[in-house]
Amino acid sequence: MSSLAVLLNVNEMILPQYQHMMHKIPEGIIFLFSTRFSNSIAATAHNLAMQYRLPTGNVIEELRRLIAIKTFTADEDGTKIMPTNLMDELWVAAIVDTQVYADLQNALGIKLYRRYGVSEPAADQVARALRQATMKCLYKNFFGSEPLGPTYPLLQQVFMAYPPVIELPELVTLNIRL
């Protein structure tokens, strides 16, 4: 077992994805797996676990994965990926504890801002769909499965007959700063 896995008291199989995505910020990995971080979102994670019929640990893991992907893509302003409903609800709980969230951002070395997916104008439907597809693609690539929980439903363009629906490609290309 690796020394980091022992230090964090986590299964060694979980760490390689985080070490790949966050290789320059081990402090961020340590913070994501800290009891302080988990405890700050535990009550909300438990409620969401009951709602989605998932183990609480899996719910907390979804937020870790979201943050790792946001860090990997340098998605500071929320324009590259979009979390699932489950991730977003837990992320809100993390933000509410402002001291823990500030410490998380310091450990990551990046500021992470949250965009409100459901309150965006219908004209941003294509951009929102692209962020959803990007998240799903990256998540599946790094973690080998689909994200847990439902994603935001696409909003219908009620007032516009145009533009026509745009089919998104299967493969999403990102420009990622390293």
The model's pLDDT over 65-93, given as tens digits with 9 standing for 90+, comes to 999 999 999 998 888 998 998 999 999 99
Whole-number average pLDDT of the chain = 80
C-alpha dihedral (88, 14, 25, 72), degrees to nearest 10: -50
Instruction: Identify the pLDDT of residue 125.
Output: 77
- Is-contact 29 4, C-beta < 8 A? yes
* Rounded Cα gap, residues 10 and 1, in angstroms: 10
Q: Is residue 82 part of a domain?
A: yes
Per-position DSSP letters for 93-137, written without gaps between them:
HHHHSHHHHHHHHHHHTS--PPP-GGGS-GGGHHHHHHHHHHHHH
Q: Is residue 136 part of a domain?
A: yes
Q: Could you give the percent of the chain with pLDDT greater than 70?
A: 72
Instruction: Identify the pLDDT of residue 168.
Output: 53
Q: Is residue 177 part of a domain?
A: no
Domain that holds residue 100: 3-143
* Rounded Cα gap, residues 24 and 77, in angstroms: 20
How many independent structural domains does the chain possess? 1
Q: Is residue 17 part of a domain?
A: yes
Q: Is residue 62 part of a domain?
A: yes
Question: Which residues lie closer than 8 Å to 52 by C-beta, 6 or more apart?
Answer: 59, 86, 148, 149
- Is-contact 93 38, C-beta < 8 A? no
DSSP class of 22: T
Q: Is residue 175 part of a domain?
A: no
**What global pTM score does this model have?**
0.78
Q: Is residue 26 part of a domain?
A: yes
The model's pLDDT over 118-177, given as tens digits with 9 standing for 90+, comes to 555 666 778 888 888 999 999 999 999 999 876 655 444 333 444 455 555 555 555 666
